[in-house]
Amino acid sequence: MSIIDNLISKGKLKKGTYSDDMCKKEYNVGKKDLEAAIVSYESENYKWATIQAYFSME
């Protein structure tokens, strides 16, 4: 049994359904977060840029 199958059987991982609109919205939010991270990086605010970049991938 794979790790994924094991997590599914334990109820720790569940399949989700997402609409196209929801995916597009989240993509656009992530894009804006990444743009903000770039601005922070260019301002030499590296710690905040790292946090923003991390959340842009979420």
Token code pair at residue 34: 């990444």
For the entire predicted model, the pTM comes to 0.69
The four Cα atoms 38, 41, 45, 51 give a dihedral, to 10 degrees, of: 60
Mean pLDDT computed over every residue of the chain: 94
For residues 53 and 15, the model is more confident at 53
| CB neighbour list of residue 31: distance below 8 Å, 6 or more residues apart | 56
Tell me how far apart the alpha carbons of residues 2 and 57 are, in angstroms, rounded to a whole number. 26
Q: Is the pLDDT of residue 15 over 90?
A: no
- Please state, in angstroms and rounded to a whole number, the distance separating the CA atoms of residues 32 and 53: 10
Residue spans of the domains in the chain: they are 17-56
Give me the pLDDT at residue 46, please.
Answer: 98
Mean pLDDT of the 16-44 span: 96
**Could you identify the residue written with the tokens 């970049």?**
53
Average pLDDT, integer, range 27-43: 97
